[in-house]
Amino acid sequence: MNGSPGQSNVQEDTVKLEGFGERDLYQRREKIFTRYVGGFFQRLRFFTGWPLLAGYFLLPWLQWGDRQAILFDLPTRQFHILGLTFWPQDLWLLGWMLIIAAFALFTFTTLVGRIWCGYTCPQTVWTAIFMWVEQITEGERHQRIRLDGAPWNFEKIRKRFLKHAMWLGWAFLTGLTFVGYFTPIRDLAWGYLTLNFELIGTWAALWTLFFTCATYINAGWMREQVCIYMCPYARFQSAMFDKDTLIVSYDAARGEPRGARKRSEKPDQLGDCIDCQLCVQVCPTGIDIRNGLQYQCIGCAHCVDACNQVMDKLGYDPGLIRYTTEHELAGGKTHWFRPRSAGYATALIVMGSVFLWAVITRVPFEVDVLRERGQLFSQSSDGSVSNQYRLRVLNKSQQPATLSLEVDSPLPLRFSVASPISLAPVELLDLPLTLSADGKDVTTPNAEVTITVCEAVTERCDAEVTRFLGPSK
């Protein structure tokens, strides 16, 4: 294809499809003005999204002893979660927890579809808050449509300013709370209240600004674009769906053909769907569920509540749009027990149990033995042989610890560190350690040594293996 330098190989933004005319390859985003709807599933969302929202904002303010209950203290590399303290050496637990979360997502998706997206996903919860702010500042759906098309005047500027001010307020609280998980939130909040930027700190201020902007843009401006284009879950969910997965579906056999009618009559030639478009107007992603299963559907059930209210007014049975499965829509029976879902659930239970056991039985201290550089061994005038080490003992708990030191080796070794060793909470001791033996007892130039440190109360131990070097015979 000929073209000037820098010109794209795609010469036109439209293509012709036989029988369909021209289609635009680049579709502009259409604004979605959602309509408020109540109902059972919206009340259910109150008990799923709001507890998580309250937990997010309140957990950093809880105190555990003399510190914040949940604090990821990056400068000291200490991660405090309630009464437990984790260190960088425990990051394998984080990786394990993420794998467990992935299997939990797989398990619930195969059974109940995108229930995470519809009820507990942060993007869904925060977007619902921003949409509620939009409703109380600009009015109902028809009022927002009219306001959007109206010319700029004082009333439009006032409503838009109030909306964006409340959006920014929520976004700032979100950013402040997130940063509060990594820096003491009481000092951080007091610093913002008093405009004391020395108390806030440069990095904390920058990260607060970043997450404020991210929340404002994602929940206020992008909304469904995040779910449709940015979230990978929407793309690979089909790999976990089957004909027995619970999804929001329109019963076409019952609803078609569509048509308007009076409340007191039901024409024989029409189905139950009156084509009122309410299911489209309440959808946060702007899709028509009557077109079948679509990856944009987040399973929020707004359309279910809206349709059930219409059916109730007409005196029809509810469930024209409902949670169901493809097997059930085809007149079959849903199979809840399936090999794939059973496999996911089994793996989830096993990994969760092992993870819980690993946390409960986790040794609250750590020992590390490092050989001093520069000299393999030293030999004194009386013939005794010595090796120099650095003994590092870390107390990873929030309580003082008393540790005993034992040395196990085929050689009769003496050690220079006095036992027991006392450590304060989260204290790291770096001690010089000398292991020595009489020259006549050193019969090998290289002997294995196991240094074991045990805690007196819990009787948990941690061991480190090193080598004792001596002259060759």
| CB-based contact 224:234 (threshold 8 Å) | no
In a domain, 292, yes or no: yes
Higher-scoring residue by pLDDT: 462, 135 = 135
pLDDT at 402 over 90: no
Residue that is last in its domain, among 237, 262, 288: 237
Number of domains into which the chain is organized: 3
103 located within any domain: no
The answer to whether residue 337 scores a pLDDT higher than 60 is yes
Residue 16 has pLDDT above 80, yes or no: no
> Stretch 327-346: mean pLDDT, rounded?
88
**What pLDDT, in 10s, does the model give residues 168-187?**
999 999 999 999 999 999 99
Contact 442, 471 (CB under 8 A): yes
Give the pLDDT score at 40.
94
Mean pLDDT computed over 131-159? 94
- Tell me, yes or no, whether 81 and 181 share the same domain: yes
187 and 290 together in one domain: no
Residue 464 within a domain? yes
E strand spans, 19-151: 21-24, 63-64, 67-68, 70-73, 78-81, 84-86
Last residue of one domain, picked from the residues 180, 211, 237: 237
pLDDT of residue 395: 87
pLDDT for the residue 23: 52
Q: What is the mean pLDDT of residues 39-62?
A: 91
Q: Which of 184, 204, 237 is the last residue of a domain?
A: 237
Looking at the fold, whether 184 and 268 belong to one and the same domain comes out as no
Rounded mean pLDDT, 401-430: 86
Q: Residue 445: which CATH number? A: 2.60.40.10
413, part of any domain: yes
Supply the pLDDT for residue 155. Answer: 94
What's the pLDDT score for residue 90?
83
Specify whether 285 is located in the same domain as 375. no
| DSSP 8-state class, residue 217 | I
Higher pLDDT, 268 or 350: 350
Q: Are residues 325 and 429 in the same domain?
A: no
Cα-atom radius of gyration of the chain, to the nearest Å?
A: 33
Identify which of 165, 189, 233 has the alpha carbon closest to the alpha carbon of residue 61: 189
The answer to whether residues 243 and 326 touch, using CB atoms and an 8 Å cutoff, is yes
Check whether 199 has a pLDDT greater than 70. yes
**Inside any domain, residue 213:** yes
The predicted pLDDT at position 171 comes to 97
3 state SS of 42? helix
Contacts 24+ apart (CB under 8 A), 48-57: 48/119, 48/120, 49/119, 49/120, 49/124, 49/125, 49/128, 50/125, 52/120, 52/122, 52/125, 53/125, 53/129, 56/177, 57/173, 57/177
**199, 52: one domain:** yes
On whether the CB atoms of residues 467 and 446 are closer than 8 A, the answer is yes
Residues 213 and 159 reside in one and the same domain: yes
450 domain residue, yes or no: yes
Structural domain span for residue 300: 242-329
Query: Do 384 and 276 share a structural domain?
Result: no
Examine the domain organization and report whether 189 and 266 are in the same domain: no
Q: What is the mean pLDDT of residues 323-327?
A: 92
Are residues 215 and 146 located together in one domain of the fold? Answer: yes
Highest average pLDDT, of 93-102, 128-137, 226-235, 428-437, comes from 128-137
Per-residue three-class SS string for 238-282: HHCCCCCCCEEEECHHHHCCCCCCCCCCCCCCCCCCCCCCHHHHC
Residue 113 counted as domain residue: no
**How many whole angstroms separate alpha carbon 404 and alpha carbon 456?**
7
Between CA 146 and CA 361 the distance in angstroms is 62
Instruction: Give pLDDT, residue 9.
Output: 39
Q: List, for residues 417-442, the tens digit of each pLDDT value.
A: 877 888 888 888 888 989 999 888 88
Q: Is the pLDDT of residue 20 over 80?
A: no
Percent of the chain predicted with pLDDT > 90: 46
Q: Which of 111-120, 127-136, 262-271, 453-462 has the highest mean pLDDT?
A: 127-136
Cβ atoms 323, 301 nearer than 8 A: yes
What global pTM score does this model have?
0.80
Give which of 116, 110, 115, 114 is closest to 337, Cα–Cα.
110
For helices 154-180 and 40-58, give the axis angle rounded to 10 degrees: 60
* Torsion angle defined by CA atoms of residues 59, 175, 85 and 61, in that order, rounded to the nearest 10 degrees: -30
Q: Are residues 321 and 398 in the same domain?
A: no
Residue 19 clears pLDDT 70, i.e. is over it = no
The SS3 of residue 392 is strand
Q: pLDDT, tens digit, for every residue of 366-381?
A: 888 999 887 888 888 8
Tokens standing for 250? 């329109």
The reported pLDDT for the residue numbered 1 is 40
- Flag whether pLDDT at 195 surpasses 80: yes
Phi-psi region for residue 40, left (φ > 0), alpha (ψ -120 to 50) or beta?
alpha
Question: Does residue 288 sit in the same domain as residue 159?
Answer: no
